[in-house]
Amino acid sequence: MKKLMIALASATALLASSAMAQEKLKVGAAPYGLNAEFMQIWSAALEEHPAVKSGEIELTVFDGRYDALVQQEQFNTMITQKFNAIVFVPIDIDAGATAVEAAHDAGIPVVGSNTRVNSDLLAAYVGSDDTVSGYMEAKTVLDKIGCKGNVVIIEGPIGQSAQISRLEGNMKALAECPDVKVLEQQTANWSRAEAQTLMENWLTSHSGQINGVIGQNDEMALGAIEAIKAAGLDVGDFAIAGIDGVTDALHAVKEGTMTSILQDARAQAQGALDLAIFHATKDGSYTPQSDIWAQYPDMPFNDGKDKEYNVPWTPVTSENVDKLLEMRQ
Amino acid sequence: MSSVENKTSNTWLNSDRRRLIVQEYGIFFAFLLLVGILAVSNEFFLTPGNISNVLLQTSINGILAIGMTFVILTRGIDLSVGSVVALAGIVSASFVTSSATAGVFGAPYPMALALVIGILVGVGCGALVGLIVARFSVPAFVATLGMLSAARGATLIYGGGRPVPGLTPEFRWIGTGNILGVPMPVILLALVFLVSWWVLARTRFGRYIYAVGGNPRAAKTSGLNVSRIRFLVYVISGALSGLAGMILSARTGSALPQAGIAYELDAIAAVVIGGTSLSGGVGRVTGTLIGALIIGVMNNGLDLMGIQSYYQQVLKGALIVGAVMLDQKRNQGD
């Protein structure tokens, strides 16, 4: 009998504690996939957010496995489990809209991060404008070759939002240099190995004519560098640029073989999480806890009122590269 | 080569062999035709630099496809090669990286150690799959599908999802070095090809592989250890995947966790285009090598002409189906 009493008492205690846990905000993060370095840094930054570390909120990260349908099903899971807010990085600009609508209908605020989704139901979006980075990287290449000569463009998967916007930026910069000819423009699907093969073949078909390489991400720029080295050419004779600031690219910038523009995954992740918590608390009492708001005075939190937050791009230079590399350790 | 081959073959293989040789010539002529068209339409195609490029770009798929040939000859399939490429690449790289954080304790070690470890990782994956297929009679498709997923996961766990950069120049030599102007990956492909050709055409083990694939029941009743042979072909495929993984990371300069995705498809395509039958017992590595070269030449030629890679995929698809259709037609004609 005594035993039963104890069991009952502890069961009540358990129930009480789980009821208390219910009051803790549950935030789900749905990145499109966790295989590549950028999204790894992004999700690691979420775990490092002060509200997660202090146990104030409960964070669950779902791996979207690069599949729009998988992401949609994860949304359904989060809706049934009554999550309080969702941070969303859609794989596809259009396919993500259905998921956002379902969450919105269930009264769960969704904050977009990193990649865009064609939906006006997002509570807010924290990302970086890819047309700006596309313009910046093409500009560094064109400046280095003195606004004349020939360039090649290695593109991301055709139709993906980053590819479309970065190309738009590339073209804007190229329009300012009418004497520069684009010899080739092809996709290497963000892949280093594919870009290496493309560049090997282009170095053959345009032997001695290529002055600049505009890689729409770092991986592909790095592939081009390997192809140039393998062909026995001097990488210094080429102006090469990439975007994202992945670790290998930071090393390459340090060596002086390419330029890169850092896309701040940490700011995009932690900024979006702050906004998700803000919209989940509903009474507007939440103040952001991440230090990224202090880091980027040009992007104020503005009491959570804004729909769009633009995280500025940071060109990687020989001055800041060591500090950036340190942050990766 | 073909006349010598015929003498050594068993009588019950003769019609298959004859059919295969006819097809191999067909594939070889298709290859020459492709080379001819590209040579005429692009002035750079037949330059020494480009020929070296094509061979270089074919080497990794060629090595994987040769391993795949062993497996398919026994009526099996190996879907795990792409993931094993990534796993072997990243594990071996962690022994030869000069990066302070990405390597194992005490790295960088000499290249030889990394090579042994990379091959052992491949052998380990192959042995596990082989055991599951041969001993527990799980269909190869399922067992290797499982390994495709598991090895990719293991790769991400091992490297924490990050690349292993800064590989030592000594190790990178297997991907970027050359001997007398011939790139190292091409030399490795040639070695793998010669040894495999010899094993399949000249050794008892090679004949057993054909026997197991041609008629497993007959092979068993005639006293062959069928499960041992089945086991070994996956070990071979695994070992070659390990080798290919190291060449890939040596070429790109960094072992990437997302390396090798969908490589199994190109490897199977090369085998099928090369005339090896998916129902086992028929096929040769010579055909596989030509199949891999056709894919390599096609990709290279279309790049030179500035044609979008999406067309390359369509053409490759047509080529695979076309090759098998020819094969079927000839089968009915026999």
**In this predicted model, what pLDDT tens digit does every residue of B2-53 receive, in sequence order?**
444 444 445 545 666 666 666 667 788 889 998 999 999 888 899 888 898 8
Which range among A20-34, A134-148, B284-298 shows the weakest confidence by mean pLDDT? A20-34
Cβ atoms of A248 and A224 within 8 Å: the answer is no
Rounded mean pLDDT, A112-133: 93
Residue A36 pLDDT grade (very low, low, confident, very high; cuts 50, 70, 90): confident
Residues of chain A in contact with residue B177, where contact means CB-CB under 8 angstroms, are: none
**Mean pLDDT for all residues in chain B:** 89
Buried b (16+ CB within 10 A) or exposed e, A127-163: bbbbbbbbbbbbbbbbebbeeebbbbbbbbeeebbbb
pLDDT at A268 over 80: yes
E strands in chain A: 25-30, 57-61, 85-88, 110-113, 124-127, 149-155, 180-187, 212-215, 239-244, 259-262, 308-310, 314-316
Domains of chain B, by residue range, sit at 58-333
B41 at the A interface (CB within 8 A)? Answer: no
CB contact under 8 A, A205 and B42: yes
pLDDT (0 to 100) of residue B20: 64
State the best of B45, B304, B305, B310 to mutate against chain A, taking most chain A CBs within 10 Å: B304
Residues A119 and A238 both lie in one domain: no
- Tally of domains within chain A: 2
Q: How far is A219 from chain B (nearest CA, A)?
A: 10
Note whether A137 and A112 are same-domain residues: no
Q: Which helix (H) or strand (E) holds B13?
A: none
Q: What CATH architecture applies to the domain B58-333?
A: Orthogonal Bundle (1.10)
Partner-chain contact A200 B53, CB within 8 Å: yes
- What is the pLDDT, as a whole number, of residue B19? 65
To the nearest whole Å, the CA of B169 is away from the closest chain A CA by: 13
Residue A223: list chain B partners with CB under 8 A: 252
Give B50-92 pLDDT, tens digit per residue.
Answer: 898 899 999 999 999 999 999 999 999 999 999 999 999 999 9
pLDDT at A2: 55
At A21 the pLDDT is 46
Please indicate, yes or no, if residue A151 is contained in any of the structural domains. Answer: yes
The pair phi, psi for residue B93, each rounded to 5°, is -60, -35
Chain A interface, mutation test: which of B90, B252, B308, B312, most A Cβ atoms within 10 Å? B252
Compute the nearest-CA separation of B47 from chain A (Å): 8
Rounded to 5°, the CA angle A37-A41-A47 comes to 145
- The whole-number pLDDT of residue A4 equals 57
Q: Are residues A160 and A201 in the same domain?
A: yes
Domain coverage including residue A185: 130-262
Question: Where is A218: in which H helix or E strand?
Answer: helix A218-230
d(CA A124, CA A113): 9
Q: Between residues A33 and B131, which one has the greater pLDDT?
A: B131
pLDDT bracket for residue A257 (50, 70, 90): very high
User: pLDDT-derived band of residue B201, with 50, 70 and 90 as boundaries?
Assistant: very high
Contact at CB, B252 and A187, closer than 8 angstroms: no
Cis peptide before B169 (omega within 30 of 0): no
Domain membership of residue A317 (yes or no) is no
What is the per-residue pLDDT across B126-149, written as a single tens digit (0 to 9) for each?
999 999 999 999 999 999 999 999
> Which of B101-105, B174-178, B314-318 ranks highest by mean pLDDT?
B174-178
Q: So what's the pLDDT on residue B14?
A: 62
CATH number of the domain that residue A104 is part of: 3.40.50.2300
Q: Which of A178, A181, A185 is nearest to A153 (CA)?
A: A185
Q: CA-nearest residue of chain A to B156?
A: A35
Least reliable range by pLDDT among A200-204, A274-278, A306-310, B160-164: B160-164
- Tell whether A195 is covered by a domain: yes
Mean of the pLDDT values across residues B236-260? 93
Instruction: Tell which B residues from 57 to 116 touch A, by Cβ distance under 8 Å.
Output: 57, 101
